[in-house]
Amino acid sequence: MRAIYRFSSLLALLCLAHWVSCKVVRFELDLTYEDREIAGFVRKAILSNGQLPGPTLRVKQGDDVEFVVSNLMPFATTVHFHGVMQQGTSWSDGTPGLSQQPIDSGDTFVYRWTAVDYGSSVKKPFKLITEDAAKLAAMIKAEVNTKPLMLSDWRFLTSEVIWQAEIDSGCESICSNAILFNGRGSAWYLPQERIHSLTMPGQRFALGNHTLTDTGCFPPLDSFFGPFPRDPSVLPTGFDEGCIPSHGPTEIIEVNPYSRYISRDVISMTGSATLVFSIDEHPMYVYAIDGRYVEPILVEAVIVPAGSRYSVLVELKQDGFAGKYTIGAANIGLNQIINGTAVLSYTARETKNALLFRISRKLPSQTVNQTFILNIDHDHASYRWKLGDSSFPVDYEGLQPALFNTSSIPFPHRVSTYNNTWVDIIFNLTEGRQPPHPMHKQSNKYFVIGYGNQPFTYSSVAEAMEVVPENFNFEHPQLRDTFSTPVAAGPLGTWLAIRYFVINPGPFLLHCHLQMHQSGGMALAVMDGVDAWPVVPEEYQLPVGPSPANTSPEQ
C-alpha cells in the first residue's frame, strides 16, 4: 500500500508548456516494478514505460489530456498529477481514498483532464531582464526548449522496507544514499574527518558529544527525533549508517553556446532533503516558481524545497566553447550532509521555434470567509506526524473515496470549504526543532500571505495583522502550490499563513511534501466547495459490487 504514495511523489514529471492549443493528447503509461540499477545499486523500482524518471509529457495550454495507466505492478496504485489543477475533473486527481479507488494490479485507468493551468493568456517576464531584442528572442527560445531537471534523494532501501523499519525501531528515516539529477548520480561518502569538519554549528549543538554517522546522517538522538521510544539496533544497514559507495552515470547537460541561454525546470522530488541548487560560474534567473511566472531574480543558488518547481534561465558564456561546469545540489537540512553533482557541458546544438503571450496579476482578498489553524507536531513517535491535531492514517487509501461519499473520511481528518469563498490556512508548529515542512495543496495555488518565527497565538490573520503587520505581505505575495514553513531550529515553533479562493469543488489533499512526513500522517483531506459538489460522470462511477471499503489495495 505504501507504493501508492511513493509513486504519487514520483509523478512530479509533468511539464506544462504555456502556448495555447486545444486538441486531445493521449499518453499511455505502463507501470512495472522491476530490478533497476540506480546510482550503481540494484533494487526494485517503479518504472514508467521502462524508465525512471518517467518520460516527459509535453502538453499545451488548452489541450485535453487522456492519460491511460496500465498497472502491471504486483500491487495497487494511482497516478497523481502534482500541481495540475484538475478544474472540473476532480475524479482524475489520482488520490486514493479521496478521488478514486486504487488501480488494482492488472487493471487500466484513464485519467481525463484539461490543461487549464496558467490562466487564459500570459505575458512572459523576460523584458524585465533585458530590452535587447536578440537576447529576448534567445530567452523565449530557451523557454520553449525548456526541459525538466529532476532532483531526488535516492534510497537503497524500498519504501516498504523503510516504513517497516520505522515501525520496528521508532526511528524516522531522515537520510538518503544519493542525490540524483534526472535519476543519475552516485552514492558517494565523505571521509569521517571531512564529515566532522563540515558539521554545522546547529548540528554540533544538537549532537552534544556524538558525531554524524559515516553517511553524514544525524544519529537517533532525542535532540532530533524527540523524546519517543526508539530501538536503533533493529535498523537495517544503510538506513542511517553503513555506507555502501557505488557509482552510477553522471547527468550531463550539453549546451550550444550560440543559443545564449538555456532553461531548465528544476523540480525537487526528494523524500527528506532540502536541496540548494547551483551551477558553477553561472548565475541564473529564476523566472517561474511552481509553474507561475515571477519577476525574474538573478541568483547564484536557489533552495528548492521538496515538491517545488523553479524554472531557471542560464546565460551561457560566450567564450566558454569547450567548458565543463559542475552542477551541484546539496542538502541544507540538519538531517544529513549529502550532495550530488551533474555537469553542464558546452558542446551540443539545440534548435526550435518561439512564441508569445500576455499576463494577468491577481491579489488576494483582504477578508476571508473561513480560517483553519492547523497545528503541526509529532504524534507520539519520531516518524508519526499530526496536521490539525490528527495524524492522517495510511489505510484511508482503501476507503470509499471521499469524492463519492463526503463523510467517508471522518473528522478530524477532513475540513470543508464552500465554493467561491476565501479560505485561510495557518500552519502552527507547536514545538521547535522541526525542519521546514514544504506544505502542498492539491488542485489550486495559494497566496503565501505571512509567516513568523514564533508559534501563532492569534485567532485569525486579521487579529495577527494588528499585532505583527510586518509579518504579512499582501502587496507581492507569492502564488504557490508548495511552500515551506519557516525552520524551527530552537525550542519554539513557527507559523505560515496561506490564503486561497475556492473555485474547484472536490476532495484534495493538503500535505507535507517530505515523503516521510506524509507517510507519517502529516496530511488532511480538504473538501473544497462542499456546497457545489461535483457530479461524477458515468464512466468514473465506482463499479457496483462488494463494499469498496473492503477492497483495500494489495501490499
Ligand X SMILES: *[C@@H]1O[C@H](CO)[C@@H](O)[C@H](O)[C@H]1NC(C)=O
| Contacts with ligand X, residue ranges (CB under 6 A) | 186, 188, 208-209, 339-341, 367, 369, 373, 375, 405, 407-408, 418-421, 428, 430, 455-457, 493, 503, 505, 529, 532
Cα–Cα dist 200/218, whole Å? 11
Cβ closer to ligand X: 252 or 354?
252
Residue 121 CB, shortest distance to ligand X, in Å, is 18
For every residue of 491-534, DSSP letters joined together read SS--EEEEEEE--S-EEEEEEESSHHHHHTT-EEEEEETGGGPP
Round the CA-based radius of gyration of the chain to a whole number and report it: 23
Residue 518 CB, shortest distance to ligand X, in Å, is 21
Cα dihedral sign, 149-155-156-162: negative
Cβ closer to ligand X: 157 or 497?
497
Residue 459 CB, shortest distance to ligand X, in Å, is 6
- Grid coordinates belonging to 85: 489543477
CB 329 within 8 A of CB 343: no
Cβ closer to ligand X: 53 or 340?
340
Cβ closer to ligand X: 99 or 428?
428
Residue 529 CB, shortest distance to ligand X, in Å, is 6
Cα–Cα dist 76/3, whole Å? 8
Residue 481 CB, shortest distance to ligand X, in Å, is 18
Cβ closer to ligand X: 311 or 428?
428
Residue 52 CB, shortest distance to ligand X, in Å, is 19
For every residue of 179-230, DSSP letters joined together read EEETTB--B----HHHHHHH--HHHHHHHTT----TTSBPPS-HHHH-S---
Cβ closer to ligand X: 31 or 337?
337
Residue 368 CB, shortest distance to ligand X, in Å, is 7
3-state secondary structure of 416: strand
The secondary structure of residue 91, as a DSSP letter, is G
CB atoms within 10 A of CB 346: 17
Cα–Cα dist 36/42, whole Å? 5
- HSE, CB side, 13 Å, CA atoms: give it for residue 160: 10
Residue 295 CB, shortest distance to ligand X, in Å, is 27
- What string of H, E and C letters represents the secondary structure of 439-489? EEECCCCEEEEEEECCCCCCCCHHHHHHHCHHHECCCCCEEECEEECCCEC
Cβ closer to ligand X: 7 or 188?
188
CB atoms within 10 A of CB 358: 10
Cβ closer to ligand X: 420 or 473?
420
Q: Vertex 501, ends 498 and 504: CA angle to 5°?
A: 120
Residue 209 CB, shortest distance to ligand X, in Å, is 4
CA distances from 68 to 103, 112, 363, 464 (A): 11, 9, 37, 47
Cβ closer to ligand X: 418 or 474?
418
Cβ closer to ligand X: 341 or 416?
341
Residue 273 CB, shortest distance to ligand X, in Å, is 13
CB atoms within 10 A of CB 15: 16
Q: Vertex 39, ends 36 and 41: CA angle to 5°?
A: 55
Cβ closer to ligand X: 237 or 420?
420
Beta bridge partner(s), residue 314: 262, 284
Residue 384 CB, shortest distance to ligand X, in Å, is 18
Cα–Cα dist 376/424, whole Å? 16
Cα–Cα dist 285/327, whole Å? 15
